[in-house]
Amino acid sequence: MTLTPFELTRFLDEDGEPTALYRAATRRIALGFYEDPGDAKLQRWNAEHEQQMRAVIRGFTDEDTTLAGLPSAQGPHPVATIFGFPNTVEVGAGAVPAWMITGVGVAPTHRRRGILRRMMEPELAQARSEGCGMAALTVSEGEIYGRFGFGLSTRMITYELDLTARPRLLPGVVERSGARQGRIHQAQGKELVEFGLALREPIAGFRAGQAVRPRGVVENAVGAVNLSEDQLKPDGARQALVFEGPDGVEGYAAFNHQGWGSSSPGPNRVVVKDFQAVSTRARVALWEQLLSLDLVDFLEFRAAPGNELARALSNPRAVRQIRETDVLWTRILDVARVLEHREYLADGELVLLVDDPLGLVTGAYHLRIRDGRAEVVPGRAVTEADAAQGDQVRGDHMRDEGTGAAAGSGADDGSGTELPGAHLLAARDERRTEAEDEPELAPQAARVRFPVQLLASAVFQGCEPEVRFGLVTGEGAEEVARLFAIRREPYCDFIF
């Protein structure tokens, strides 16, 4: 086994076609999830969109494992990949720059050799050095990523609404919401791309946990393309309702009817594929229309936990939960930045002792909340570690400017043995993984110890159960449960 690192930032060649390494890397990603990488047109579409997202694919190739005679043996042979792109994640009182991670996989022929660790740890260190406050991913196997400091942050519920029970919005909901200040238009889903792009940033700030949806996600959600079937042809059956308010479009619902002629006989069903609203009046007006659809027995939709719709219905039993899945897992890379962008419902102060298995944010942090806004002062150990890393990063940049080489050396030519970011990590036996208290840091404040993955979860979901189960400890445990209480469930409405 001879592993060679690669870093891919340019996905298209001079002729506008996917590069050989891009095609090989995305084929490796598709194989890892038992998917079809798609035909040449789909690969080109993906490459164009992902390059616009400023995505980066890193990983390792191993040319010693190719089998002569196979078409896939021609060209580069990636055996491990990690795909990332910049975005932001709303924390409650503001958005934090985030590095979104997907496409993580190691070929079955190369597992149990530490390759995942050799990819993920440098990826996180590199993202931190570039100013990201957190990393985020959606996972197929949730238990894998806790060891890298990721904590479960948002969940998604699939609900079923029984329209045969004739549910209606409670009296006064429509009028008080202002839904009558606008009007509903009918459209085809494929017509909504520009509306979806215009709404995505306002919607990203609407709720903690939400990220800005990439263009490809918007196009697929409204049916302009049909990526679930690897088709660039629009889904002509996807219909939509659009709410236009006094100042323009404020939301829409795109859906498909699954009734007569479908492969699964039974009651007529509508599946809402995309529901976007930047105002309560848009949300209420769209639901009023969906509740009155003809020739529909059941309506299926996805939303945050808590079943908010049922509270506005005359018959709340008409809504039931049919599936639940976790969506966003986050990893804190800058404790102060994340905590200062969080929403708080109470004032107080604590010193958080954050334990980090990678040593990236290990240390003591004084959290002081006044009028619902937080100020965080890192302890001496954190400040010294950050200063040392800053000196190292600046030195790397100076060397790069002098040589023209890529930082960390994991360039496409295969030079070096590790991926960018690996040089920013301390040796495993030298990492500070457990925070030490600093008595001089806010001596009047109670202390509470947090594993970094549980702090990530607490930022979005609170931590009362973790305190009750003894997973978050210290004299300030009860106080942190009070301070980290949440007003509403966090939510991210797309998987990447």
Instruction: Give yes or no for residue 38 having a pLDDT over 50.
Output: yes
Question: What distance in Å separates the CA atoms of residue 416 and residue 218, rounded to the nearest whole number?
Answer: 38
Q: What is the mean pLDDT of residues 464-490?
A: 97
Contact call for residues 212 and 201 (beta carbons, < 8 A): yes
Q: What is the mean pLDDT of residues 434-458?
A: 98
Instruction: Give yes or no for residue 456 having a pLDDT over 90.
Output: yes
Instruction: Give yes or no for residue 273 having a pLDDT over 80.
Output: yes
Contact call for residues 78 and 56 (beta carbons, < 8 A): no
Strands 78-90 and 56-61: antiparallel
Question: What distance in Å separates the CA atoms of residue 277 and residue 257, rounded to the nearest whole number?
Answer: 21
pLDDT band for 411, please (50, 70, 90 cuts).
very low
pLDDT of residue 397: 53
pLDDT band for 407, please (50, 70, 90 cuts).
very low
Instruction: Give yes or no for residue 408 having a pLDDT over 80.
Output: no
Least confident segment among 31-45, 160-174, 255-269, 303-317: 255-269
Q: What is the mean pLDDT of residues 299-320?
A: 96
Instruction: Give yes or no for residue 7 having a pLDDT over 80.
Output: yes
pLDDT of residue 360: 97
pLDDT band for 413, please (50, 70, 90 cuts).
very low
**pLDDT > 90 fraction of the chain, expressed in percent and rounded:** 83
Q: Kindly report, residue by residue over 199-248, the tens digit of the pLDDT.
A: 999 999 999 999 999 999 999 999 999 998 878 999 999 999 999 999 99
Average pLDDT, the chain: 92
**pLDDT > 70 fraction of the chain, expressed in percent and rounded:** 92
Q: What is the mean pLDDT of residues 106-110?
A: 94
Q: Kindly report, residue by residue over 161-207, the tens digit of the pLDDT.
A: 999 999 999 999 999 999 999 999 999 999 999 999 999 999 999 99
pLDDT of residue 386: 84
Instruction: Give yes or no for residue 263 having a pLDDT over 80.
Output: no
Q: What is the mean pLDDT of residues 290-319?
A: 96
pLDDT of residue 63: 82
Q: What is the mean pLDDT of residues 1-29?
A: 95
pLDDT of residue 240: 98
Least confident segment among 27-36, 361-370, 415-424: 415-424
- Check the CA dihedral 211-212-218-220 and report its sign: negative
**CB burial of residue 232 (10 Å; 0-12, 13-18, 19+):** middle
Q: What is the 3-state secondary structure (H, E, C) of the chain?
A: CCCEEEEECCCECCCCCECHHHHHHHHHHHHHCCCCCCCHHHHHHHHHHHHHCCCEEEEEECHHHCCCCCHHHCCCCEEEEEEEEEEEEECECCEEEEEEEEEEEECHHHCCCCHHHHHHHHHHHHHHHCCCCEEEECCCCHHHHHHHCCEECCEEEEEEEEHHHCCCECCCHHHHHCHHHCEEEEEEHHHHHHHHHHHHHHHHCCCCCCECCCHHHHHHHHCCCEHHHCECCCCCCCEEEEEEECCEEEEEEEEEEECCCCCCCCCCEEEEEEEEECCHHHHHHHHHHHCCCCCCCEEEEEECCCCHHHHCECCHHHEEEEEEEECCEEEECCHHHHHHCECCCCCEEEEEEEECCCCCCCEEEEEEEECCEEEEEECHHHHHHHHHHHHHHHHHHHHHHHHCCCCCCCCCCCCCCCCCCHHHCCCHHHCCCCCCCCCCCCCCCCEEEEEHHHHHHHHHHCCHHHHHCCCCECCCHHHHHHHCCCCCCCCCCCCC
pLDDT of residue 396: 61
Question: Regarding predicted confidence, which is higher, 70 or 107?
Answer: 107
Q: Kindly report, residue by residue over 46-82, the tens digit of the pLDDT.
A: 999 999 999 999 999 998 776 666 666 677 899 999 9
Question: What distance in Å separates the CA atoms of residue 318 and residue 130, rounded to the nearest whole number?
Answer: 48
pLDDT of residue 265: 54
Contacts of 112 (CB under 8 A, 6+ apart): none
